[in-house]
Amino acid sequence: MPSPRSLKALAFGFALSCCGSTAPLSAQNSTTGIENPDSLRGTVVDSATHEPIARALVFSPDNRYATMTDDRGHFEFTFPRGESEKTAGLGGNSDIRSLETSQRQLARTNRPTTLMARKTGFLSRNNGQEGFQIGPVQQELTISLAPEARIVGQVILPESDGSDKIRVELYRRQVREGCEHWDRAGMAMSRANGEFRFAELSAGSYKLLTHELLDRDPLTFNARGQLFGYPPVYYPAAPDFATAAVIRLSPGETFQARFSPAKRKYYPVKLGVKNAPPSLQTGIQVWPQGHAGPGYSLGYNVGDELIEGSLPDGAYTVQATTYGPNAMTGMLNFTVSGAAFSGPGITLLPNSSITVSVKEEFQRTETVTPGTMTLGGLRPSPENGRHPNYLQVRLVSAEEFSPAPAASLRPPTGPEDDSLVIENVKPGSYRVRVNTSIGFVSSITSGGTDLQRQPLVVDLGGSTPPIEITVRDDGAQVEGTIEGTTTTDVRRAGFDSPGQSPGHVYFVPMADSGGQFSVAWVSPDGKFRLQQLPPGAYRVLAFDRQQPDLEYASDEVMSQYDSKAKVIRVVAGQKEHLRLPLIPASE
Q: Compute the distance between CA of residue 286 and CA of residue 331 in angstroms, rounded to an integer.
A: 10
Which pLDDT band holds residue 195 (cuts at 50, 70, 90)? very high
Assess whether pLDDT exceeds 60 at residue 3.
no
Same domain? 333 vs 386:
no
Assess whether 460 and 418 both reside in one domain. Answer: yes
pLDDT the model gives residue 22: 34
Percent of the chain with pLDDT over 70: 78
Which of 75 and 24 is assigned the larger pLDDT?
A: 75
* Tens digit of each residue's pLDDT (9 = 90 or more) over 203-218: 999 999 999 998 866 5
List phi, psi (to 5°) of 558: -70, -25
d(CA 91, CA 82): 17
Region of poorest pLDDT, from 32-36, 294-298, 343-347: 32-36
Q: Which residue range(s) make up the domain with 321?
A: 264-350
Same domain, yes or no, for 448 and 492? Answer: no
Q: Which of 331, 350, 369 is the last residue of a domain?
A: 350
Please give the average per-residue pLDDT across 243-265, as a whole number: 95
Q: Map residue 18 onto helix, strand or coil.
A: helix
Which of 350, 368, 395 is the endpoint of a domain? 350
Query: Looking at residue 379, what is its pLDDT?
Result: 40
Residues 6+ apart with CB under 8 A from 53: 44, 45, 46, 69, 73, 117, 119, 122, 145
| CA 121 – CA 143 distance, rounded (Å) | 15
Q: What is the DSSP letter of 494?
A: T
Q: Are residues 132 and 19 in the same domain?
A: yes
Phi, then psi, of 297 in degrees rounded to 5: -155, 150
- The reported pLDDT for the residue numbered 482 is 92
pLDDT at 111: 82
pLDDT in tens, 264-323: 999 999 999 888 777 667 889 999 998 889 999 999 988 888 899 999 999 999 999 988
Q: What is the mean pLDDT of the chain?
A: 82
Q: Please, which pLDDT band fits residue 405 given cuts at 50, 70 and 90?
A: confident
Count of domains for the chain: 5
Whole-number pLDDT of residue 161: 67
46 or 9: which leads in pLDDT: 46
Whether residue 515 is predicted with pLDDT greater than 60 in this model: the reply is yes
- Tell me, yes or no, whether 238 and 297 share the same domain: no
Same structural domain for residues 370 and 315?
no
CA nearest neighbour of 215 among 284, 158, 257, 286: 158
The lowest-confidence range among 124-128, 363-367, 456-460, 484-488 is: 484-488
Lowest-pLDDT choice from 49-58, 131-140, 257-266: 131-140
Ranking 389-403, 442-456, 504-518 by mean pLDDT, the lowest is: 389-403
What is the 8-class DSSP label of residue 219? T
Domain co-membership, 451 together with 493 = no
Residues 393 and 520 in one domain: no
- Pair 177, 292 in one domain: no
Residue 84 scores a pLDDT above 60: no
Shared domain for 436 and 369, answered yes or no, is yes
Whether residue 495 is predicted with pLDDT greater than 60 in this model: the reply is: no
At which of 145, 169, 202 does a domain end? 145
Give the domain CATH number at 269.
2.60.40.10
The CA distances from residue 316 to 73, 290, 313, 349, 537, in Å, are 56, 8, 9, 20, 43
Say if CB 427 and CB 349 are below 8 A apart: no
138 and 187 part of one domain: no
pLDDT confidence band for 412 (50 / 70 / 90): confident
Answer yes or no: do 524 and 575 share one domain.
Answer: yes
Predicted pLDDT of residue 368: 58
- Provide the pLDDT confidence category of residue 500 given band limits of 50, 70 and 90: low
**pLDDT > 90: percent of the chain:** 53
Among the listed residues 206, 211, 210, the one whose alpha carbon sits nearest the alpha carbon of residue 250: 206
Instruction: Supply the pLDDT for residue 485.
Output: 58
